[in-house]
A and B are shown apart, each in its own frame.
Chain A
Amino acid sequence: MAADVTISTGGGQGAPLDYPVPGAVELVLKQLKASYNGASAAGAFVPTVQLLTASGVEVGSWTASQALAAGASADVTWFPGVSSEAATSAGSLTPFYNVLLAASAPSFDIVGIPANGGSLAFITYLRSDEAGVINTEAKVTVNGLSTGSGISYEYWDSRGFTDQSGTSESVFGANGAGSDSGHYSGSWFIMPNYSVIAQDHQFAGYVAKLGQFSDTTSWQTYVVAMQCCIDPGIAVNRVTITPTTAGANWVAGSRVTMYLL
């Protein structure tokens, strides 16, 4: 039977404060708490808990509902069932994954998706370091699988473009380095029935894209559809979002949020 434990620090230490989970330890988190003192803060800040892999890749991030001004202090408690949005925001949800890049990274890799939900809802805000303005697109890989490994990808958009040859899928837009400074592309997409893959070629994911791009002539918005055909018995447990070009990176300020619905 699992035993409840509490692990704690004492007096103040500079942020960030790390707990590297020791060897042979496995924890199921129930509640996190910390007192933040911003008396000497260099600027406004958001209390945040991050979950990092051994290689330092952020795989989870949970932020407080509000930023604190320099000089302010707060006792922050994180626990399930509480929205990270404002308390008065009825209907708000707690994200399963919510990562805002502080530095360039090659992907958003959402792992450990539990098989207990009906749909995955993604909201993205992306800019890559690729040279293009509007030609760059985010690629999604499901479960790390390529075509022929239990999954195939098909893609359409309103421009009539069809792609069935990839080992991942273009699902929404992302601004490139050629777009106006500071411009990111906002998109959303939903994967329904992600944990109920019961028959061959069941429609496992689709995308509605509201990608808005800034090129040299106009702003554009268009809609795409993505279909993932997944063999029986394979549920979606991992979604990886990368730029189109191999070796490219998402730049700082890019963000992906995912909800279990």
Chain B
Amino acid sequence: MAQKINAGMPDGIDVDETYTIRFAALDPLSGAPVAGVTISLAQIHAASVGQAAGTQLNAGPFIYVPGPND
């Protein structure tokens, strides 16, 4: 069973179309990417303050997850 790790991030990070959010696996000493690591069920939970909604949020391997009111 995978261990659970909680990590911190700043509050209120505002990102727009000029940015990429990257989930990475980095060498703890050099900061270089480590090969052979797989990532699944990556999830971004955010407040959408733009006009985009629904499938407009899809990009790369990420897809919008409809909520109960969709």
Is A46 among interface residues, defined by CB-CB distance under 8 A?
yes
Partner of A21, one of B6, B27, B59, B65: B59
Q: Which of A59-67, A183-191, A226-234 contacts B (4 or more CB under 8 A)?
A: A59-67
CA distance A10 to B12 in the complex (A): 26
B39 and A37 form a contact (CB under 8 A): yes
Partner of A25, one of B35, B40, B56: B56
- Complex contacts, A76 vs chain B, CB 8 Å: 5-7
A32 and B21 form a contact (CB under 8 A): yes
Known A94-B9, A252-B31; judge A18-B46 contact (CB<8 A): no
Is A150 among interface residues, defined by CB-CB distance under 8 A?
no
- Complex contacts, B37 vs chain A, CB 8 Å: 14-15, 36-38, 40-41, 45
CA distance A43 to B27 in the complex (A): 7
Is A17 among interface residues, defined by CB-CB distance under 8 A?
yes
Known A11-B40, A19-B59, A44-B27; judge A74-B4 contact (CB<8 A): yes
Is A181 among interface residues, defined by CB-CB distance under 8 A?
no
CA distance A36 to B26 in the complex (A): 12
- Complex contacts, B5 vs chain A, CB 8 Å: 47, 64-66, 74-77
CA distance A38 to B12 in the complex (A): 30
CA distance A46 to B37 in the complex (A): 11
B39 and A21 form a contact (CB under 8 A): no
Nearest 4 interchain pairs by C-beta: A94-B8, A26-B50, A80-B11, A100-B31
Residue positions of B touching A, CB distance < 8 A: 2-53, 56-65, 67
With A9-B39, A27-B14, A51-B13 given, name 6 new contacts (CB 8 A): A10-B40, A10-B41, A44-B28, A49-B24, A102-B27, A252-B32
